Each structure stands twice: as C-alpha cells, then as structure tokens.
Homo-oligomer: A and B are copies of this chain.
C-alpha cells in the first residue's frame, strides 16, 4: 500500500511553504498597514449557517461532516431503504467545512455585533474546501485572503481597495497588473437602456468577446440572443471603448442619461477614477471594464477584478466588490459591505512563471557542523548555541561518522540542502569553515564567524 492523499489536496514541501508564506505575509502586512484587523473563524460551521447561501450548486459542493456516534439511529427507515441520499444528509450531518470566508464573516459580524466597533475593517486568511472536480489550478482545499469593510457606504473604501491591490502587487514585484473596475448600477443602467433586464447576462457575455470576435461577431451573438437592433444601437459606444477612463466615462454618461441608476453608477466610478488619478498608483493600472459582472446577483455597487501582467496566461488573480446586505441573511439589516480577495494559488503560479521568488529565504540552516569526531561534538554544540543566539540558523549533523562512507554522506547532506557554510572542525576555540559557494576554507573564532554572517 503506497500512501497517498485525497485528490484535489496537496502536500507542501518546505520550499513551497516558504514561498507561500512570503505571499501571505506580504498581503498580511499591507492589510494591517491599511488598518484591517485579523479574525479567524472555525473550519467547520453549523450546516444551517452554510446551506442555501451559495445556490444549489454550492450546496452540493459543500463538504459535510458525518455526525458522531450512532448517527443512523433516528433517521426515518424509509429514507434509508429508498437510499434518499440527499434527504438523509441533514439527518446524519450537522456540520460542514467552510466554503468561503464571506458567509462565515457575515455570521461573525451578526454574532459579535455588540463587541465590534463599526465600521469594521477585517481581514481573514484561511483555507476553504469545495468538493469541486479538481483540475489544473483548482483544488479541493485552498486558501482565501479576504479584506472587507462593513458598516460604511463611503466610496473612499472603494478607492482604498484599489490602492491596496496596487500596494500588494507592487510589493510582490508583480508589476503591470490591471485592476478592472465596473459598477453593478452601470450594468443595471445598460439593462434599462436596452429595455431588457433579463438579457443583461447574455449581453455582457457577448460584449466580453469583443477582443476575440470583433464588433460584427458580438452584434451577431446579441441578435441571436434576442436583443433588438435598436437596443444594440443605443449602447454602440460600448464597442468603441479605447481604454482611456475619462473618455469611457463620458461615453457612459451620454449613453445612460435616461437611467437614474445608471447615472448613479457613473458618478461612483467617476469618484473612484478621480481619486486614484490624484493619488497615483505604483505599478498597477485602473481600467473601466463594463463587461465585468462577476457574482452579479451578489454585488450591488463597485465590482473589481485583477488581471495578471500582460503576457502571463492566467485568469483573474483577485476580485471583489460592494454588497449592500451581506448580514441580512443572519438577521442584521442595512449593513453595507465592500471587500476584495487575493487568489493565492494563481498569484503563486504567476510569480513562479516570472521568477519573482528568487529573493525568498528558504528555510535551511546557514551553517552546518559536520560530525566526524565524537570528542569535538560538545564544542560544536556550544558554537551552534552561540550562532543561534545571534539568529544565525545552524545545526549539527546528528550522527558521528564512523567511516569514510559516512563522512561522504554528511558532505552530501550539506550539498543537497545547499548549505552556505560548513564547519568541519572546532578545536581550542578555532573553527575550520568551508565557504561552500566560494569553495574556500577559512579558520576563525565563533565570534568572527558571527560577525562575518551578520
């Protein structure tokens, strides 16, 4: 029996952990720098908290935990005989693994509303689980990194999230990202203008293909979906978006004049675009994208999505938006929220592709003491203690070599762990040190070695 792990899950080697932690800590540092506070929620929630919050598909993909003890005892026999798998679930399972961080956050806010000072800026970096079919870049266990503010409708939050994306990606060296922004109210306005709220999704899906199939192709698809000629004509400026935010805003303003909600969306976008123009961004660019509609039923205002630098083939590496009634599902009305998420796994892949992990310190000792002579061991362990006290990672090869072969094994260990400095001997306070990169040997005291390495 060769041991294995469940499909869609991963073991992480120490190199992978180090690289992942580098991303996590960069994100965390910026979250805190921007005034967000960390919270953590349990890995499993009561099923009633999660079920029904993510649609039918979501319910199916939630991992359920089997009750303990004689869990079948009270289940209706008929359900069992007829093997009614779906109906039996709620009888034998009361807990389920977290599916995202948003619903548990809403639950947290409602449950702890009396301990929280609003507006509440929280961040949360924890794993979530989905019984999805695993494929490249899609896992059954993966981390989400979310920052949200609840209890404020101020658009300065929207501005701040653009800055936050820019800050994190710049710090990671991921220059040239595009922060795409849209507003649900603009989409509603377009629906109003084309006179078909029910066709909005067909419309945005078709428009999204403009790059690939050109205006002609898009119009053809729209007509096929039953959107009228006159409707398409009314929103003609959308086919000529040239990427300049001010021009695009002006076009939207013209187009949506007859829709009050649409105009509200334009004002909101205008506010954010103006502020970011004043403030500047380090390495990202902000771009209006009217095809952006992620989680349409969920968001009520701004919608964000971040694209990796040009040339890297990868879906969005972040996304988010404003939702006006998140906590309503748990009985707390009128709490508006806005938040963004970072896609850890995709960011990792992009950084790997661009070679951005080179500066990450791998978790390995700086100095290895070989162990060829039992009489020297205690002197070596004493030297190691001094090095460690000065925060220089060091270790003793634990077993004393009693043969030439075993000595070679220790050198091989040093090479395969890519150790920088190898100490072979310690006698009367003098260390014999081999600099593995330079290939040269020096002798020095512990203090001299500490000074050299600090």
Residues of A bordering B, CB below 8 Å:
1-6, 9-14, 17-18, 21, 32-46, 48-49, 60-61, 63-66, 68-73, 75, 77, 80-81, 83-85, 88-89, 92-95, 97, 107-108, 110-112, 115, 117, 119, 121-122, 127, 129, 131, 141, 149, 152-154, 156-157, 159-160, 163, 167, 275, 278-279, 330-331, 363-365, 371, 377-378, 381-382, 385, 388, 391, 393-400, 413, 416-417
Partner of A39, one of B12, B60, B66: B12
Q: Judging by beta carbons under 8 Å apart, are A108 and B14 in contact?
A: no
Whether A5 pairs with B45 at a CB distance below 8 angstroms is: yes
* Contact indicator A35/B398 (Cβ below 8 Å): no
Q: A34 to B391, alpha carbons, bound, how many Å?
A: 9
- A88 neighbours in B (Cβ, 8 Å): 72
| B43 contacts A3, C-beta separation under 8 Å | no
CB distance from A278 to the nearest CB of B (A): 6
Residues of B with C-beta under 8 A to A117: 413, 416-417
Assess A154 versus B399: contact at CB under 8 Å? Given A2-B111, A81-B77, A83-B75. yes
Do the beta carbons of B154 and A37 come within 8 Å of each other?
no
Q: Are A400 and B111 in contact (CB under 8 A)?
A: no
21 example contacts (A-B, Cβ-Cβ < 8 A) are as follows A3-B111, A6-B45, A9-B42, A9-B43, A9-B44, A12-B39, A32-B393, A34-B388, A35-B394, A43-B97, A43-B141, A66-B93, A70-B83, A72-B84, A80-B81, A117-B413, A117-B417, A154-B371, A156-B371, A156-B381, A275-B378
CA distance A6 to B21 in the complex (A): 29
Task: Please name 9 further chain A to chain B contacts, defined as beta carbons within 8 Å, in addition to the given A12-B39, A152-B398, sorted by A numbering.
Answer: A3-B49, A5-B49, A10-B42, A34-B388, A37-B363, A65-B97, A119-B397, A152-B399, A279-B382
The 4 closest A-B pairs by CB, nearest first: A35-B395, A9-B42, A154-B398, A14-B37
By a CB distance below 8 angstroms, the chain B residues around A92 are 66
Q: How many copies does the complex hold?
A: 2
Closest chain B residue to A118, Cβ basis = B413
A409 nearest CB across to chain B (Å)? 9
CB atoms of B377 and A156 under 8 A apart? yes
- Pick the most buried of A1, A70, A80, A377: most chain B CB atoms within 10 A of its CB: A80
Q: What chain B residues lie within 8 Å of A42 (beta carbons)?
A: 5-6, 9-11, 141
CB proximity of A128 to chain B, nearest CB, Å: 10
- With CB as the reference atom, state the residue of chain B lying closest to A17: B38
